[in-house]
Amino acid sequence: MDTSTAAVPTPARLRTTVVFAVLAILAVGLAVYSACVGQVPTTPLEVMGSVLHRIGLDVGPMPAHPSGEVTLWQVRFPRIVLGAVVGACLGTAGALLQGVFANPLAEPGVIGVSSGAAVGASSVFVLGGAFAGVWSVATAAFLGGLITTVLVYVLARGGGRTEVVTLILTGVAINAFAGGLIAFFTFVASPAARDQIVFWQLGSLSGATWQAVGVVAPLAVVGIGASVALSRRLDLLALGENVARHLGVNVERLRQTAIVIVAVLVASGVAFTGIILFVGLVVPHLMRMLLGPAHRTLVPASALCGAVVLLASDLLARTLVDNVDMPLGMLTSLIGAPFFFWMLRRTRAEQGGWA
């Protein structure tokens, strides 16, 4: 056997390396550029110099503006980091759900986590009124997302097994009921609370803090790591439930684990940002088109691409209109829906099925 070609990368491996490299470069570039954008002028060199000084390296210039250092570390960096982390959570959750459901149209909203979070946040806005603080809203949204997900799973479970179709239909029904509750809260709310409900559902990173990052980031690391650990079993499940069972996969437990991971990832993210649509749907679909269906690469690629997409969307939200911070969820929907439609048409035309 000729081993001289063993070190030569295959086209698939080369493509994977290129995709990850491009995504990493985009993530770093968007983060640095985003840190420069705002009313306090800052250059990329000053941004890098500030970061290097914080880690003990006396290299590069510091921000020249008197408020530059404070603006970077108290306003812009928390927003950038939270955006990247939440984007990674949404991308990973979408890849995980699409793998468990064997359906490219699956996304976190299917299991009710987003609508449940919205109900929790809306209830605090109405009942708490002017006393509704950031942490009370975030806590209610997180608990609402988790409770709704558990409710969907319990109602869909029958005969010791959870059928995918039953789970999706139950999610549709629960989402509709949650939508009714949100409408009720909006109807009875005061004008100020009504504005808060509407703005929260549009999604935004404007309230990002290091405290929020400290809550979401550890959950993201655990959730993404657990998702990667499930990759092999997800690949076996793609062969069919019966085949996966014969190969030693406990399909029901795999679905339970995946749903819990998705609920934690999405609920922790939207608790501080509001509802952000289409990232969990579009990103895994795009990565599957580029890298193929193997979850060992699909899951981390979706996490990295999700971070890139949310960083780019937030940058657009801050710069499209001068001195206006546009709703992030609105932009991801306006851009994501047509883009997903294009990807769906392209995949169907080229492969006659889902990538």
Total-model pTM = 0.89
200 pLDDT above the threshold of 70: yes
The pair of structure tokens assigned to 13 is 């491996």
350 pLDDT above the threshold of 70: no
pLDDT digits (tens, 9 = 90+) for 33-82: 999 998 888 999 999 999 998 888 888 788 888 888 999 999 999 999 99
Of the given ranges (9-13, 110-114, 192-196), which has the lowest mean pLDDT?
9-13
pLDDT digits (tens, 9 = 90+) for 217-269: 999 999 999 999 999 999 999 888 889 889 889 988 998 899 899 999 999 88
When pLDDT is cut at 50, 70 and 90, the band that residue 5 belongs to is very low
Q: Which residue type does 282 have?
A: V
Q: Which residue type does 231 have?
A: S
Distance CA 308, CA 353 (A): 27
Which alpha helices (H) appear in the chain, and where do they start and end? 11-36, 44-54, 68-71, 77-101, 113-128, 134-156, 164-188, 191-202, 210-229, 231-237, 241-246, 251-273, 279-291, 295-319, 328-351
159 pLDDT above the threshold of 80: no
pLDDT at 2: 46
pLDDT at 3: 46
pLDDT at 25: 97
Burial code of 215-252, b = ≥16 C-beta within 10 A, e = fewer? Answer: bbbebbeebbebbbebbebbbbbeeebeebeeeebebe
Kindly list the structural domains of the chain, giving each domain's residue range(s) and its CATH number in brackets, ordered by start. Answer: 11-351 (1.10.3470.10)
353 pLDDT above the threshold of 70: no
Distance CA 116, CA 308 (A): 26
pLDDT digits (tens, 9 = 90+) for 297-349: 999 999 999 999 999 999 999 998 888 888 898 888 888 888 878 877 776 66
Residue the block writes with tokens 């970061």:
51
DSSP class of residue 72 equals: I
Tell me which residue of 256, 280, 272, 267 sits closest to 146, measured CA to CA. 267
